[in-house]
Amino acid sequence: MSYYVTRLQAQLRRRFFVQMILLVAVAAVAGIGWGPRAALGAAFGGGIAVVNLLLLRWHAGRADRVAGTDVGRNMRVLYRAALERFLATVILFALGLGAWTLPPLPLLIGFFVNQAVQLGAGYQNRNRGLRNVD
């Protein structure tokens, strides 16, 4: 595994743990404020962001193994990763809001709070002079 991918995997591992802590915290706050169904919705929304992160981590390792230094193959892996992450997000939102009828506001709050970890990490990397890995 290349140095860059090893660094990326370490960053994504740290983000995963932060997201899991936030998922539990947001679900607990939603449960206290709105009840157990809202806690489930907030946890599910946070879980959607975690699934996105796990897909990103999997595709980063896969790109290194499959494509190596071939730029064309790396771009195909990148586009496929973006498509899979988008589809996973849409399908999981449809499942949570449609099939399971979870409350929308806690679900969205859980998703956005956990997704903010990705945005904050990108901002933090930019300010340190590091390349954004997303």
Mean pLDDT for the stretch of residues 72-84: 89
Give the pLDDT confidence score for residue 123 in this predicted structure: 61
32 C-beta neighbours (distance < 10 Å), count: 10
Give the pLDDT confidence score for residue 116 in this predicted structure: 92
**Residue 28: CB partners within 8 Å, gap ≥ 6?**
39
Give whole-number Cα distances, 100 to 26, 29, 123, in Å. Answer: 19, 21, 35
Estimate to the nearest angstrom the gap between the alpha carbon of 11 and the chain centroid: 13
Q: Which long-range contacts (CB under 8 A, 24 or more apart) does 21-26 make?
A: 22/46, 22/113, 22/114, 22/117, 23/47, 23/50, 23/110, 23/114, 26/109, 26/110, 26/113, 26/114
Instruction: Tell me the pLDDT tens digit for each residue of 17-63.
Output: 999 999 999 999 999 999 999 999 999 999 999 999 999 999 888 88
Give the pLDDT confidence score for residue 34 in this predicted structure: 97
In percent, how much of the chain has pLDDT > 70?
90
Q: Of 17-31, 54-68, 72-86, 117-131, which range is least confident?
A: 117-131
Give the pLDDT confidence score for residue 122 in this predicted structure: 65
Give the pLDDT confidence score for residue 108 in this predicted structure: 97
Strands (E) across the chain are located at: none
Residue 68 has pLDDT above 80, yes or no: no
Mean pLDDT for the stretch of residues 96-105: 96
Give the pLDDT confidence score for residue 6 in this predicted structure: 84
pTM here is 0.85
